[in-house]
Each structure stands twice: as structure tokens, then as C-alpha cells.
Amino acid sequence: MIISMEKYVYQMFILGLGNHINALKKGLGGVIFFTKDIQSEEQLKQKINLINEHSVIPPFISIDQEGGRVERTENIRTKRLSAREAYKNNTLMKQSDEIAKELLSWGFNLNFAPCVDVNTNPDNPIIGERAFSDNPDEVIKGGKIFIEAMRKYGIIPCIKHFPGHGDADKDSHLTLPVIDLTLNEMEKIHIKPFKYFADNIEMIMVAHLHCTCFDKHVVPASLSNNAVGYLRNNLNYQGVLISDDMVMKGVQAYGSIEACIKGINAGLDMFIFRNSDANTLAMIDKLVQIVEKDKNLQDKVMKSYERISALKSRL
């Protein structure tokens, strides 16, 4: 089957609900659900069935379902314990199993979890109890439990937020946090869980934060040749790399098209945009036109498509 460059580029995007049906017909890579999108179990299943029916290429049906503060199903079920509390109480295995089983029953196939951030900053406004621990070895143990539960029910796990959001003192939804640690410090603590999982994890989410150990000039890790290159070259990661939500303030200073081009050149395979409005679709269409005229971008898009399709073949 011959696939157009439009479909190759659209496969790189996971969008929120909105004009997603039009995007699915162009080859959209997947859809992400937020709390506002989920009102009842029956309504949720109907939406997912509709998404599958309109997809020209099987889509990722995704959600952030960590447990605790970040659980998108609060309109249809009581929230569970946070990752940290479930791990401390030795109920993480049971809770993770329940989460995966529910996601499968509703029709999801991708969960943007677990967080394998090491929460070393007690004043961290974005991670906190979402992390299993402030100890990297405990984070690895918690991550293994959660990942195994997802796989048991055929849900793709995605670890986040490389290279580690645990030392941040600002929220990347609102600004660009700066992590001012040496590479040695990052490797001993924050990168350690990512290194552990790198040879056997389906997807890694890259954060919108500036790490001075990778770049002296200010650039989000998600768009950094050095940060993303570290995953590919130093950790030899061969799976799918996806951005955190591209509408977050930590990355939007570049504008969506320029940010996506920088991300592709750095080595990202996919981008999340919580918006699926006319502006977002117009941006992707403009990106298609740019890629069609740039051989280097075309080569990178094709490599990303190979990684994405290899992962989707396991669904």
C-alpha cells in the first residue's frame, strides 16, 4: 500500500477530541482523552468505537491514567491512590492491574504512565506524589510493577518525563522550568530509571524543561538535539519518542510549526496536542507542505513512521 506524505506526517500526531474525525481520515496517529471527554462508560465506549471506525490507520487510543491526581476518569469512578501512596502501601500491583483492566474494557491501548521521575524537590509543583519515590531505585521498582500490569492487559505503557522532572521548581504547563544539575548528577538520580528501562520500553515521553547539562542556551529538552540524542545515542533507545503536550507554555514560545520542526530534527517521533481545532489541523497541513519540500525532514518522518508502525503492529 502506497501511503502519502500527508499520512506519514499525520501519524506523528496524537490530538485531543474536536476535529479529530477529519484528522483521522487523513491518517491521524491517535487520540488522547481528558476528563472533560469522559461523562459515562457507555458514552466513552461509543466515542472510542467512532474513532476506530473513522481511522484509515489503526490509532493509538490514549489517556493519562496514573492513579491519584492524574486520573482522567473522575466523572465515572472514584480516584485511586497516588503512585507514591500505592507504592508505600504495597497496593500498587493491585491498583495498576485494576487500571489496566479498566482501560482495556473501555477500548484504550496506550497509557501515558508511569511517571519514572525521581521527586527530589519537595516543593515540586508538577510531580510530587505522582512519583513513586525520591529514590531512583524505588522508582524503578514501582515502574516495573506498573509497566507489567499494563502489558498484561495489552495496554502500551509510556514512561515519562525524560530527562526527569523531579527537581523542577516550576510547572511546565505555565513556564519553562530549568534543571541546573551536572550530567553526572542527572545520570546518578534522574536519568537512572530511564536508563534502566531504555532497552525494554515501548514509548518514552520527553519533557518541556531546560537542562543545562545538555544545552547552555535555553531550549526545552523535547526540542533539544543533545537531550533527545542522548536517548538515541547514549541509551541506545530504539522505541517511540513522544513529546509532552505541545500547548504547554514551556514549549509554545516557538510557535507550533517551528516547535514541531525542531522536534522532528531532534529525533522525536510523535507530538501530543490537546487541541484538535481548525488551527491545529491547519498547522499540521502546513507542516506537511514543509516536509514535502525538505528531503532531510522526509527521511526523519519516514524513520518515525517505521517506529510508530512497528509499535502499532503489536496492538
pLDDT at 1 over 70: no
User: What pLDDT, on a 0 to 100 scale, did the predictor assign at position 184?
Assistant: 97
Q: What is the mean pLDDT of the chain?
A: 96
What whole-number distance in Å separates Cα of residue 150 and Cα of residue 147?
A: 5
Q: What confidence tens digit (pLDDT) does each residue in 222-262 have?
A: 999 999 999 999 999 999 999 999 998 878 889 999 999 99
Q: What is the DSSP letter of 186?
A: I
- CB 282: neighbour CB atoms within 10 A? 12
Confidence (pLDDT) at 2: 59
Distance CA 115, CA 64 (A): 10
CB atoms within 10 A of CB 74: 10
Query: Tens digit of pLDDT for each residue in 127-148?
Result: 999 999 999 999 999 999 999 9
Contact in structure between 177 and 210 (CB atoms under 8 Å): yes
* Cell numbers describing residue 51: 474513532
pLDDT for position 221 = 97
Condensed to tens digits (0 to 9), the pLDDT of residues 159-209 reads 999 999 999 888 778 889 999 999 999 999 999 999 999 999 999 999 999
pTM over 0.75: yes
HSE of 24, CA atoms in CB hemisphere, 13 A: 22
